[in-house]
Amino acid sequence: MTAGQAASTASPSEFRGRVRLVAASATLMSISSGVWYASSVFFVALIQEFHWGYGSTAGIFSTFIVMYGVWGVLAGLLLDRFGPRRVILAGGVLLPVALASSGLATALPTLYLTHGVITPLGLSLMSYVPVSVLLTRNFYARRGLALGFASAGVGVGILIAVPLTQFLIDRAGWRMAYFGLAAIAASVVLPIALLAIREEKSQIAGSARPRPSAASSLASPSDRPEWTLASAIRSREFWLVTATFMCLNSPIQLVLTHQIAHLVEIGHSKVLVAGIVGLVGLVSIPGKIWWGYLADRVWLEWIYLGGSACVMAGIAILLGIGPGSSLWSLYLYAALIGIGYAVSPAMTPIMCGRFFGGAHFGIIFGALNTLYHAGGAAGVWLAGYAHDLTGSYRLPFSASIVSVACTIVLVWLAAPRRIPPAESREPRAEN
């Protein structure tokens, strides 16, 4: 029988192990995204306390995104060498230390180091790249759905962490908010990392059936080469996929980082706006699961088209919101951005795995992640710089709509529809 059929007849214990593995991965993603998107709340608090410019303050978070991408290459190398287990555990140790260090910062350069450089190192070792590799190597026929459920943890993190961080800042100050996030990370990430270690072992050793190796399960079709980082970088596909990710991620990171500053600036309360950002996270949870489910069944081009249309509509509504706008316009903005934004984290590992699956998937995905986040970092900094020059966010938000429109063109040029999904490429299992 085929590997896809074998997956459908998994034993109850193996099925429960897979469910726990996805749940552990989703929890890691929720902690990671909570730290990531709390940046929009810290952005406002830091400007109000230190009176730094929008551009220089946004530079902290742009550095964070750039370094997250750079550290992704290191994470990919370590994953290919040591596997996800040890890498996630190392990230779980480093992240709380980095967050607590940011809470002790008294100057701009210190935050550039602690929040901009060390925090993304901790995150890169315990979140997106390791989780993507872990699930890609353990799921075959339902890989898209598994990654969709795991990436739904991002929405949970936004829903909980952004309002919680705003609450802590209002009650105890931004330093205590950093300490609070550090405590949460320390109490959750390390136990979850240990669970992920146990579950990965059980996935490999717990099944009585012979299973394809990690490399063979990610193997490209027989008429395509086995990808290495060097061959991927030389390929047309790599740059089209990278451009697709960058053109969507840049405006999304721009909006998610600056949305609170923009809405507070035009007259809405910080508590209300933090709740709206939480709603973005709430809506993105079913969105990521739905997009992941569809990824196993329809062309990825259609998924990007639908998600990009939602993002463009959401940004257009954001541009039209004023001090007297109704709550329904804010809710509609949150719903559209939440649904559309969900495409970016859910589809990135799925499409990268579709093109570049193989024994070197970790390092290729890490390198692509570096460029992917470089686009996001550029968008965050340029939005702050444009605000300093023009006094508003109208120009960067308008440019974001154009960038998202380019995403639709690029994904159709990349044409992931020409490559069969993981299930149809699996090697046959023994009877």
Domains along the chain?
A: 13-205+213-420 (1.20.1250.20)
Cα gap 157→160, rounded to integer Å: 5
Assign 3-state DSSP to the chain and report helix, strand, coil percentages, each to 5: 85, 0, 15
pLDDT, one tens digit per residue, over 290-349 is 887 888 788 889 999 999 999 999 999 999 988 888 889 999 999 999 899 888 877 888
CA distance 381 to 384: 5
The pLDDT of residue 177: 92
Contact between 212 and 428 under an 8 Å Cβ cutoff? The reply is no
Kindly state the tokens that stand for 266. Answer: 């035009």
Task: Name the packing angle between helices 143-172 and 270-295 (round to 10°).
Answer: 170
Cβ proximity of 154 and 281 under 8 Å: yes
- pLDDT of amino acid 198: 53
Q: Is the predicted pLDDT of residue 8 greater than 60, yes or no?
A: no
Give residue 197's pLDDT.
52
* Whether pLDDT at 29 is above 80: yes
pLDDT exceeds 70 at position 426: no
Residues present in the chain in total: 431
Calculate ∠ Cα 65-373-49, nearest 5°: 25
**Burial (Cβ within 10 Å: 0-12, 13-18, ≥19) of residue 87:** buried
How far, in Å, CA of 90 to CA of 111, rounded?
A: 22
**What does the pLDDT average to over 65-77?**
82
Higher-pLDDT residue of 403, 25: 403
pLDDT digits (tens, 9 = 90+) for 180-224: 999 988 888 888 777 655 544 444 433 333 344 333 334 334 445
Element spanning 69, H or E? helix 54-82
Query: Is 4 exposed, middle or buried, given 0-12, 13-18 or 19+ CB atoms closer than 10 A?
Result: middle
State the pTM of this model.
Answer: 0.67
In this structure, the dihedral spanned by the alpha carbons of residues 133, 134, 135 and 139, taken in order and rounded to 10 degrees, is 100
Cβ distance 36 to 344 under 8 Å? no
Q: Is the dihedral of CA 256, 349, 418, 415 positive or negative?
A: positive
Taking residues 133-154, report their average pLDDT.
75
In this prediction, residues 6-25 reach a mean pLDDT of: 69
Instruction: Please write the tens of the pLDDT for every residue from 335-388.
Output: 999 899 888 877 888 888 788 877 777 788 878 877 877 787 788 888 888 888
Beta carbons within 10 angstroms of residue 213's beta carbon: 12
Separation in Å, CA 281 to CA 151, 297, 332: 11, 25, 13
CB atoms within 10 A of CB 427: 13
What DSSP line would sit under 286-354, residue for residue? HHHHHHHHHHTTS-HHHHHHHHHHHHHHHHHHHHH--TT--HHHHHHHHHHHHHHHTHHHHHHHHHHHH
Question: What tokens does 360 get?
Answer: 């070197």
Which pLDDT value is given to residue 202?
Answer: 41
DSSP 140: S
Residue 10 identity: A
Bin 288: left if φ > 0, else alpha if -120 < ψ < 50, else beta.
alpha
Residue type, 198: R
| Cα gap 38→162, rounded to integer Å | 5
Which carries the bigger pLDDT value, residue 216 or residue 36?
36
Q: What is the pLDDT confidence band of residue 225, given thresholds at 50, 70 and 90?
A: low
Looking at residue 57, its amino acid is: T
Structure tokens at 31: 């902690």
Bigger pLDDT: 359 or 179?
179
CA angle 171, 34, 370 (to 5 degrees): 135
Residue 345 has what pLDDT? Answer: 75
Check whether 91 has a pLDDT greater than 80: yes
Between CA 164 and CA 266 the distance in angstroms is: 23
Q: How confident is the model at residue 53 (pLDDT cuts 50, 70, 90)?
A: confident
From 130, 116, 127, 129, select the one nearest 66 (Cα to Cα).
116
Q: Give the pLDDT confidence of 153-177 residue by residue, as tens digits.
A: 777 887 788 888 888 988 888 899 9
**In the structure encoding, which two tokens stand for residue 300, read together?**
């990825």
Tell me which of 198 and 237 has the higher pLDDT: 237
The stretch 277-281 carries a mean pLDDT of: 82
Model confidence band, residue 427 (pLDDT cutoffs 50, 70, 90): very low
Q: Alpha carbon 298 to chain centroid distance? A: 22
